Amino acid sequence: MFSPDSFRTARWIRTCNLVLQAVLFLTLFGGLNYLARNHAWRFDLTAHQRYSLSPETKSYLLNLQRPVRIVVTLTETDEDADIAQAYRDLRGVLGEYRYVAEANPNGPISVEFIDVYQQRREADQLGIDQPNIVLLICGDQRQQVSLAELYGVKDREKTDFRGEQALTAAILSVSNPERKKIYFLTGHGELRPDDVDAARGLSALNDELRLRNFAVDFLQLSTARTVPEDADLVIAAAPQGRYDAFEQEQLREYLNKREGRLIVLLTPGMAHGLDDLFYDWGVLADDVVIYDTDPASFADNGDLIIRNFQAHPITQTLLDYKVPLRLGLCRSVRPDPGRADGSGLEVSVLAATSTTAWGEVSYRQRRLPEYDRGVDLKGLPNLPPANRLGVITVSERVQVRNNLPFSVRSGRLVVIGTDDLVANYRIASPGNQNLFLNAVNWAIDRDTQLNIPARPIERFQLSLSQAELLKLRYSLIFALPIAAAFLGLFVYWSRRN
């Protein structure tokens, strides 16, 4: 028998024991949270390290000197399954970017997901008017990453996730206070990036370039007397008159001696005055207009459809997604068959017509275009692309040392045989915009891939016959509840005995 005092003591001891247990539990819980917050260890046990950033990306993030704000306008509830999946992929990898950058007080990374339709005020404040993009902001500099840059694609099927490559490259670009400078030539009726005219303006292209952190300016060679030292790229957009010998010499010196980069869009039927420059770079721009009898080569409004591309950083996206070009009048642009071997030039046709197309020499005569054998221009079977006429040709001078070609900065030239590839009324065509922006990136070396491996997309597919699906359904409906009932009866019987 216990005395009343003993019962009172036992209750106090039990109460103190419970309080002490609660305090110890709360202390343990708080201590674990403190360790998790301030001394977290993270392990990625997936086969391809799909939830970890590469050492190269981590090094860049830890050395950032300016904070970067990342705004994503994708939504998880989008009806398009590809966009919803891209949202989930981005959310995971951007979480890692933010986590790694927390250790860098100078260059933290903030991530926001907004719906441009439901959060209209926030979108307007950021100057965002389109969904499904990733916008990076650092100070007054902005750069956009599109969905096409996030995935590798083959035969319209996603093969791997390249978001880390695209995002790291964009972060390095937008955080760099020195913007790449693009000069548009003026003085010969060229298309201008400040012109909003539908047919003759490039204002939409100008917006796309500024969104990608390029600085755009104008250059008139006749008054400037030389190409500025800060010119990363020069664009001659559809000159309506000839460049004189002095202006051509300035461009030649820029390309040859200063290893410059030049993109030229040529107007069919207009003399451009750059023949000698093209000859130096192994490119021949024929004074013809391309016609084709193949119905598949024309759109309903008469646009020329180009579907034949050579693998190259400029055309790779078009090949992956099978996107064509839509062009107006075109002239032939091809490698010069008479160029000297061993000149150190790599000249290749990136986009070509079908085999039924020809270059009309007498296009100035007002008559129905018709191929005249021996007069009009046809693709040659012994020159690539066989039996096709090129409309976009690139030339790069490869530097050779000790009989080995080195991938170092050298001159690059892109010649496009149409003047309206990216005019305001054509840039909406996905192929046109993508190809020209890829050409800009290639010209200024932005196409160089970081040493970051792509993450393969793992697909799992369960193939069941109708009978197997029926068995699975009955198992879920009846087998699991019956098993749970038997387990309950077994526990009840064990306690009774």
Measured from the Cβ of residue 200, the count of other Cβ atoms closer than 10 Å reads: 19
Q: Report strand pairing: 233-237 vs 180-185.
A: parallel
* 489 inside domain: no
Burial class of residue 156 (count of CB atoms within 10 Å of its CB; 0-12, 13-18, 19+):
exposed
Helix (H) or strand (E) holding 109: strand 109-113
How open is the CA angle 175-168-144, to the nearest 5 degrees?
Answer: 70
Q: Which of 286-290, 382-386, 413-417 bottoms out in mean pLDDT, i.e. has the lowest? A: 382-386
Residue 9 counted as domain residue: no
What integer pLDDT is reported at residue 341 of this predicted model? 66
Q: Please tell me whether residues 347 and 397 are part of one structural domain.
A: yes
User: Which residues, in sequence order, are bridge partners of residue 351?
Assistant: 309, 392
For residue 120, being part of any structural domain is answered with: yes
Express each pLDDT in 161-197 by its tens digit.
888 888 888 888 888 877 889 999 999 999 999 999 9
Please report whether residue 165 resides in a domain.
yes
Q: Same domain, yes or no, for 189 and 160? A: no
How many domains does the structure of the chain reveal? 2
- Full domain range(s) for residue 314: 180-443
Looking up residue 394, the CATH number of its domain turns out to be: 3.40.50.880
- The region of weakest confidence among 5-9, 405-409, 481-485 is 405-409
67-102 pLDDT tens trace: 999 999 888 777 788 888 888 888 888 888 888 888
Domain-embedded: residue 142: yes
In terms of Cα–Cα distance, which of 65, 212, 206 is closest to 134? 212
Residue 327 lies in a domain: yes
Q: Are residues 163 and 269 in the same domain?
A: no
Is 313 a domain residue?
yes
Residues 276 and 294 in one domain: yes
User: pLDDT above 70 covers what percent of the chain?
Assistant: 89
Measure Cα distances from 27 to 13, 18, 23, 342 in Å. Answer: 21, 14, 6, 77
Q: What is the mean pLDDT of residues 8-16?
A: 84
CATH number of domain containing 112: 3.40.30.10
Looking at the structure, tell me whether residues 295 and 365 fall in a common domain. Answer: yes
Same domain, 142 and 262: no
The last residue of a domain, from among 151, 175, 199 = 175
Strands 261-265 and 412-416: parallel
**Predicted confidence (pLDDT) at residue 1 exceeds the cutoff of 80:** no
- Asked if residue 71 and residue 101 are part of one domain, the reply reads yes
Within a domain: residue 457?
Answer: no
If asked whether residues 229 and 350 sit together in one domain, one would say yes
* 226 lies in the same domain as 155: no
Do 439 and 366 lie in one domain? The reply is yes
Same domain, 318 and 241: yes
Q: Provide the pLDDT confidence category of residue 298 given band limits of 50, 70 and 90.
A: confident
State the pLDDT at residue 377: 93
Domain end position, chosen among 175, 200, 235:
175
Domain finish residue from 126, 145, 175: 175
Q: Are residues 220 and 283 in the same domain?
A: yes
Q: What is the pTM of this model?
A: 0.70
SS3 content of the chain, % helix, strand, coil (to 5): 35, 20, 45
At residue 493, the pLDDT reads: 85
